[in-house]
Amino acid sequence: MSFSESLQLHQKDAGPPLFDAKVVMPSAANIARAAECLLAGQLIGLPTETVYGLAARGDDGAAVDRIFVAKKRPRNNPLILHVADFTDAFALFDSDSSAELRRRAERLGVFWPGPLTLVGSRHPSILDEVTAGNDTVAVRVPNHPVALALLRRLAEIAGRVIPLAAPSANVSNYVSPTTAAHVIEGLGDEVALILDGGPCNVGVESTIVWLPDDSSPVRVLRAGVISPEQISIALGEEVELVISTAKPNDTVTAPGQFAKHYSPRTTLYLLENSNDQSPLTANSRVLRIVFGPVGPESNADVWSFNLDGRLETAATELYATLRRADQAGYDAIEIVGCANTGIGVAIMDRLRRAAIT
């Protein structure tokens, strides 16, 4: 056997490569390269503080369309536009939008850059491909140095603001990505490159808040680390929590979230109490994942999202743990839920959707 044949054999045995040439360090040169790819209409993997995004320039219908094709995303599910600051964000709303919308957006602007998405009446220049034909647009300023540097570089090269359309960088309905390797796993063939910004520190997607055009109540459409209470305090008024549960084939009158989402391929059971068990036969291999420390009686088939007991840690580790669990070859995964308070609300929302079959 020649040396190169034996090397090939060795590489086959070694499983997937640890390094992928598409994953690049976020140097100034690579950020400029990512900007050029985006301007040419290509997709890139973008680190944010919540999850990695699959980004395309948001002002080019053909580029935005590639996101839907790559993710196999239903075209009735609109995208979030990402920009570098409040001024750029507000410019994406209808310039005739009410003083009420502006007043509320300014108050909530204290959370930017950060894990908050605001939905409001769209500026006429926003593409239908982005909003799925709705008359509102979703906007966010991500709190990640690499995302912000890229947005600024793009504007410098183009001589104007280029918002980035970016859903989570996973194939539709699968678990969201919190590392560059997760993006490679699902969408490696679809991206020109991935800027490696390290693991995301928040770990669950942004809180989505809808600002109406009039004085009717503000609505929280998706739970995230920024809680409805924090939104309510910043606004100085009550807010409504309206978490939608549309099914993929439903006619969606108002955009929002589909019920099944964030799902590993392995069947997942969400249990109410630690004494509960999933409805499985005795000889199936079941992985149990809990919150907080694992008891002394437990074995290798019991994992924890957060040995330190902090729900912030559980949020950061949530998707990576689900992905690892999915690859471990169990017949089923059972998860004992966490407290439905604070960031636990967002965690339980994701787990409930992951558990829908």
- Cβ of residue 1: shortest distance to ligand TXA, in angstroms? 47
Residue 186 contacts which entry, Mg ion, ligand TXA, none (Cβ below 5-8 A, type-dependent): none
Nearer to Mg ion, 134 or 168 (CB): 168
The CA-based angle 334-327-169, given to 5 degrees, is 100
- Cβ of residue 152: shortest distance to ligand TXA, in angstroms? 17
Type and span of the H or E element at 102: helix 99-108
What is the residue type of 142?
A: P
- Report which of 341, 282, 286 is spatially closest to residue 311, judged by C-alpha positions: 341
Q: Is 287 exposed, middle or buried (0-12, 13-18, 19+ CB in 10 A)?
A: buried
- The first and second tokens of residue 290, run together, are 């809990």
Total number of residues that touch Mg ion (CB under 5 A): 1
Type and span of the H or E element at 325: helix 311-327
d(CA 278, CA 299): 17
E-strand spans in the chain?
23-24, 44-46, 53-57, 80-82, 116-121, 136-140, 164-165, 193-195, 207-210, 218-222, 239-241, 267-271, 286-290, 302-304, 332-336
- Cβ of residue 99: shortest distance to ligand TXA, in angstroms? 21
- Cβ of residue 10: shortest distance to ligand TXA, in angstroms? 37
Residue 31 contacts which entry, ligand TXA, Mg ion, none (Cβ below 5-8 A, type-dependent): none
Beta carbons of 218 and 40 less than 8 angstroms apart = no
Q: Residue 226 pairs with which residues in a beta bridge?
A: none
For CA atoms 101, 103, 107, 113, the dihedral sign is positive
Residue 221 contacts which entry, Mg ion, ligand TXA, none (Cβ below 5-8 A, type-dependent): ligand TXA
State which residue has the least CB distance to Mg ion: 168
Nearer to Mg ion, 131 or 168 (CB): 168
Nearer to ligand TXA, 48 or 316 (CB): 48
- Cβ of residue 168: shortest distance to ligand TXA, in angstroms? 4
- Cβ of residue 242: shortest distance to ligand TXA, in angstroms? 10
- Cβ of residue 15: shortest distance to ligand TXA, in angstroms? 28
Residue selected from 42, 48, 168, 173 as contacting Mg ion according to rule CB under 5 A = 168
Nearer to ligand TXA, 166 or 180 (CB): 166
Nearer to ligand TXA, 253 or 273 (CB): 253
Beta carbons of 155 and 87 less than 8 angstroms apart = no
Nearer to ligand TXA, 325 or 346 (CB): 346
d(CA 151, CA 8): 41
Residue 78 contacts which entry, Mg ion, ligand TXA, none (Cβ below 5-8 A, type-dependent): ligand TXA
Contacts of 190 (CB under 8 A, 6+ apart): 43, 54, 66, 70
Nearer to Mg ion, 137 or 149 (CB): 137
Binding mask 114-153 for Mg ion (x = CB under 5 A): ----------------------------------------
Residue 157 CA to its chain's centroid (Å)? 27
Sites of contact with ligand TXA (CB under 6 A): 48, 50-51, 53, 77-80, 115, 117, 119, 131, 134, 136-138, 140, 142, 166-168, 205-206, 208, 221, 255-257
What is the residue type of 72?
A: K
- Cβ of residue 98: shortest distance to ligand TXA, in angstroms? 17
Nearer to Mg ion, 86 or 319 (CB): 319
Residue 137 contacts which entry, Mg ion, ligand TXA, none (Cβ below 5-8 A, type-dependent): ligand TXA
Residue 337 contacts which entry, Mg ion, ligand TXA, none (Cβ below 5-8 A, type-dependent): none
Nearer to Mg ion, 223 or 290 (CB): 223
Q: Residue 222 pairs with which residues in a beta bridge?
A: 208
d(CA 332, CA 285): 7
- Per CB under 5 A, residues contacting Mg ion are 168
